[in-house]
Copies of this chain bind each other. A is one copy, B any other.
Amino acid sequence: MSLSLQQELFQQLQSLRLIDPHTHINPHQPASRCLADILGYHYYTELAHSSGLPKDQIEAPGLDPREKVRRLVPWLATIENTAQYSWLLEMCREFFGFQEERISVDNWESLYESSRARMAQPDWEQQVLNTSGLDQVYLTNDFDDSLEGFDRQFYVPCLRTDDLVFHLQRASVRERLAKATGATPGTAAALKAAIGHLFQYFTARNARACAISLPPDFTPQPVSDAVADPLVARVFSGAELTADELVTLSQFVFWSLAEFCDQFRLPFDLMIGVNRRVYEQGVFQGQDLFDSRVSLIQYRILLNAFPRVIFPISVLAETSNQELVSYAWIFPNVVTSGHWWYSNIPVFIERDTRARLQAVPATKQIGYYSDMYKLEFALPKFAMYRRILARVLADDFVIGRRWSVERALDLGKQVLRGNVETIFGGIASR
């Protein structure tokens, strides 16, 4: 009974068109061109490497895409159990008509050719969007992105700020800032002005959020201009800062971002908990991990200081989910946001979804985002989420609370789509 009910709810949720509120899509090349674009996603390269594939076999400069796939395919046998593999299979089935049980050394070549033919069609991007039911796709843009040359009503810009907060000691970042804003700040005020310029630029081009990923040990707090002034002057003169000084500078820039989010009425996406480059010999984008010893109490001052800024918060460690639920239950400006990275597998999604639906106001939950680099991934990732959401709605609401199917569906639609519109501003441009 519960299974067929789940099935019914899933079918209904599948028919819903979506806005994907967080991706890494390149709007100039949003869809894949061949299987290497799909298998080159770090979820596959890192798992294949973890299983034994030497990194240099797939990261050699100028490696032919077909050869890259040929080298990856044998390792798929070791990861068929993973959720990540199930996305791959679902993509191949839905987009390329793949019929077999597994992708193997015996059948990958025909898949490669048939998929390449489809991806070469001039309207492939549109085909993917249609099949996936995507109405809008949010981007992750570097602060110096021109945001030109694509449809910003569909591919919605988002100001990603990791570089500004954590990497001003890198000359390349300072040069990019100089190029984007014309400024080489020598004071705290000048740095703030440059950041303000970026907010102006981005919001004028339909940006709907400021976003950042944060390490487990980061604790935001205000830093006065007087304290920041010498740090800004020195870092922009190319001097080395101490570790402590870098933390203070990060806090200063971060706080400035929050101030501008307040001023420009932008939600501030916080993605909390990642340690970068933990496995330094890992494949591209397959080096980061985390430390579950992190608490939202570290954000106490921030959340109190900016009551008008909406903070959609993602946590990397599943052990942080109860804190996220509780902070969203208490703080008006905290919104639960998706299932991030290492928490984006079914067992954790289900637990976390259940807790959020049971204790956070329905209006304050962004159910899911794909985090994808290529458009084809939205379909299997959202399908995974929708299956789980259907199960939770069936068990906890239709069966557990005796809701009608329609009412449960309304809740599902709200967290899948409705809240994305109300929180980030909907489809109409500003």
Q: A50-B332, A322-B342, A347-B358 are in contact. Are A295 and B297 (CB under 8 A)?
A: no
Q: Complex Cα distance A300/B307, Å? A: 38
Q: A323-B290, A328-B50 are in contact. Are A348 and B343 (CB under 8 A)?
A: no
- From residue A112, how far is it (CB to closest CB) to chain B in Å? 23
Residue contact A411 to B330, C-beta cutoff 8 Å: no
**CB-CB contacts of A319-331 with B at 8 A, as 1s and 0s?**
1101101111111
Q: Complex Cα distance A364/B50, Å? A: 9
Interface flag for A51 (CB, 8 Å): yes
A331 neighbours in B (Cβ, 8 Å): 50, 279, 282
- From residue A397, how far is it (CB to closest CB) to chain B in Å? 8
Q: Which of A79-87, A151-159, A229-237, A368-376 contacts B (4 or more CB under 8 A)?
A: A79-87
Interface flag for A59 (CB, 8 Å): no
Q: Complex Cα distance A206/B330, Å? A: 36
Contact of A345 among B47, B51, B359, B363 (CB under 8 A): B359
**CB-CB contacts of A291-306 with B at 8 A, as 1s and 0s?**
1111111001001100
Contact of A78 among B293, B319, B347, B362 (CB under 8 A): B362
Contact of A319 among B49, B322, B363 (CB under 8 A): B322
Q: A83-B358, A354-B347 are in contact. Are A278 and B295 (CB under 8 A)?
A: no
Interface flag for A289 (CB, 8 Å): yes
The residues of A with any CB-CB pair to B shorter than 8 Å are 3, 46-47, 49-52, 78-84, 86, 101, 275, 278-282, 286-287, 289-297, 300, 303-304, 307, 317-320, 322-323, 325-332, 342-343, 345-348, 351, 354-355, 357-364, 387, 396-397, 399-401, 407, 411
